[in-house]
Amino acid sequence: MNPKRTSSGQGWRPYEPTLRDISRACEHIQAGWSERERDKRAGRLRAVTWVPPSVDWSALAEAANEDQKSSQSPGGIELDV
């Protein structure tokens, strides 16, 4: 607390801000906050959700079929690859 001299000039007393002083100081501080900081302090942080990569199953099946076809000899006998 910041001590202040009493109005009569005798002695010191602790600084006791009014509710209005406190509100103004809070507004001044919060004016410098980003939207993210404001949300964080209000408990409204937006969750960042990780989504795994998706797989195109039809393309995967096609690739598997292509691999299977290329591993077979023209006579229909499978080669050991």
3-state secondary structure 30-53: HCCCCHHHHHHHCCCCCCCCCCCC
Residue 25 has pLDDT above 90, yes or no: yes
pTM of the model as a whole: 0.40
Average pLDDT of every residue of the chain = 82
The domain ranges of the chain are 16-50
Please spell the DSSP secondary structure of the chain, one letter per residue. Answer: --EEE-TTS-SEEE----HHHHHHHHHHHHTT--HHHHHHHTT-PPPPPP-PPP--HHHHHHHHHHHHHHTB-TTSPBP--
pLDDT band at 29 (very low <50, low <70, confident <90, very high): very high
Residue type, 52: P
